[in-house]
């Protein structure tokens, strides 16, 4: 019986997150009420509050779902990276940004960033920051893997280089979500150009030969 209850609980949770994602995208985060999410998920408003205290908690749950999926994709890139450092970094950070609009709209990202900035010590802010840390650490792991493969200078500061690449990706992503007219293709083009310049000074002798 406990197994059945857990499955039912998981199904209700998934319905709530799916309903919130759809309504936030279609109607805008600020417009949507918790009651509307409950109705779309076919659960009571009390059930929603058993899982989430407010819309902000729901939004960070969607962001977490997004980041968890790109982290899994990133693991695959690190396990089997492309044959050049530039291509490997592009595959990793490209996966981050390409997946970014799968669940969230630009408006939803702006809301998430605003909450994380104005409420950094809230559960939302702390979760958002932890997700950024996880992505930055994964970027550093890729740099270490590229050093092991002889594609980047082993003497380079892997953590420092990875953090620079991730922080630059993050800053470009902020510009992207602020500009409704900017496309993913434009974002990726900017990142490729900048990462090529950053990585040029860290190619190993073997890789550059």
Using CA atoms, how far apart are residues 196 and 207, in angstroms rounded to an integer? 14
Residues 27 and 99 in one domain: no
Residues 120 and 65 in one domain: yes
* Contact status, residue 64 vs residue 116, Cβ threshold 8 Å: no
Q: Can you tell me the mean pLDDT for 21-42?
A: 95
Q: Tokens standing for 69?
A: 């999926």
How far the first Cα of the chain sits from its last, in Å, is 64
Q: Domain residues for 29?
A: 1-52
Using CA atoms, how far apart are residues 176 and 170, in angstroms rounded to an integer? 10
Residues 143 and 180 in one domain: yes
Residues 70 and 122 in one domain: yes
Residues 34 and 66 in one domain: no
For 115-128, how does the pLDDT look when each residue is reduced to its tens digit (9 = 90+)?
999 999 999 999 99
The pLDDT, as a whole number, for residue 121 is 92
Residues 20 and 61 in one domain: no
| Domain at 45, CATH number | 1.10.10.60
Using CA atoms, how far apart are residues 89 and 185, in angstroms rounded to an integer? 16
Total structural domains within the chain: 2
| DSSP per-residue string spanning 27-91 | H-TTT--HHHHHHHHTS-HHHHHHH-SSHHHHHHHHHHHHHHHHHHHHHHHHHS--SSHHHHHHH
For 142-178, how does the pLDDT look when each residue is reduced to its tens digit (9 = 90+)?
999 999 999 999 999 999 999 999 999 999 999 999 9
Residues 101 and 62 in one domain: yes
Residues 37 and 61 in one domain: no
* Contact status, residue 100 vs residue 191, Cβ threshold 8 Å: no
* Contact status, residue 167 vs residue 136, Cβ threshold 8 Å: yes
Residues 170 and 88 in one domain: yes
Using CA atoms, how far apart are residues 50 and 45, in angstroms rounded to an integer? 9
Residues 39 and 61 in one domain: no
Residues 8 and 45 in one domain: yes
Residues 158 and 132 in one domain: yes
Alpha carbon 19 to its chain's center = 20
Record the pTM. 0.90
The pLDDT, as a whole number, for residue 22 is 96
Residue 207, pLDDT > 60, answer: no
Q: Can you tell me the mean pLDDT for 112-139?
A: 95
Using CA atoms, how far apart are residues 152 and 86, in angstroms rounded to an integer? 10
């Amino acid at each position: 019986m406990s197994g059945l209850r857990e499955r039912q609980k998981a199904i209700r949770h998934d319905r709530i997150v799916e309903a919130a994602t759809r309504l936030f995208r279609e109607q805008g985060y600020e417009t949507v009420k918790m009651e509307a999410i409950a109705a779309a998920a076919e659960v009571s408003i009390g059930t929603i509050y058993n899982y989430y205290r407010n819309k902000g908690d729901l939004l960070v749950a969607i962001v977490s779902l997004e980041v968890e999926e790109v982290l899994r994709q990133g693991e695959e890139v690190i396990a089997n990276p492309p044959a050049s450092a530039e291509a490997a970094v592009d595959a990793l950070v490209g996966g981050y940004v390409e997946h970014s609009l799968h669940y969230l709209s630009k408006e939803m990202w702006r809301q998430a960033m605003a909450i994380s900035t104005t409420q950094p010590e809230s559960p939302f802010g702390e979760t958002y920051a932890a997700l950024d840390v996880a992505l930055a650490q994964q970027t550093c792991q890729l740099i270490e893997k590229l050093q092991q493969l002889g594609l980047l200078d082993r003497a380079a500061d892997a953590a420092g280089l990875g953090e620079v690449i991730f922080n630059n990706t993050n800053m470009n992503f902020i510009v992207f979500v602020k500009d409704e007219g900017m496309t993913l293709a434009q974002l990726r083009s900017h990142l490729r150009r900048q990462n090529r310049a950053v990585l040029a000074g860290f190619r190993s002798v073997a890789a550059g030969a």
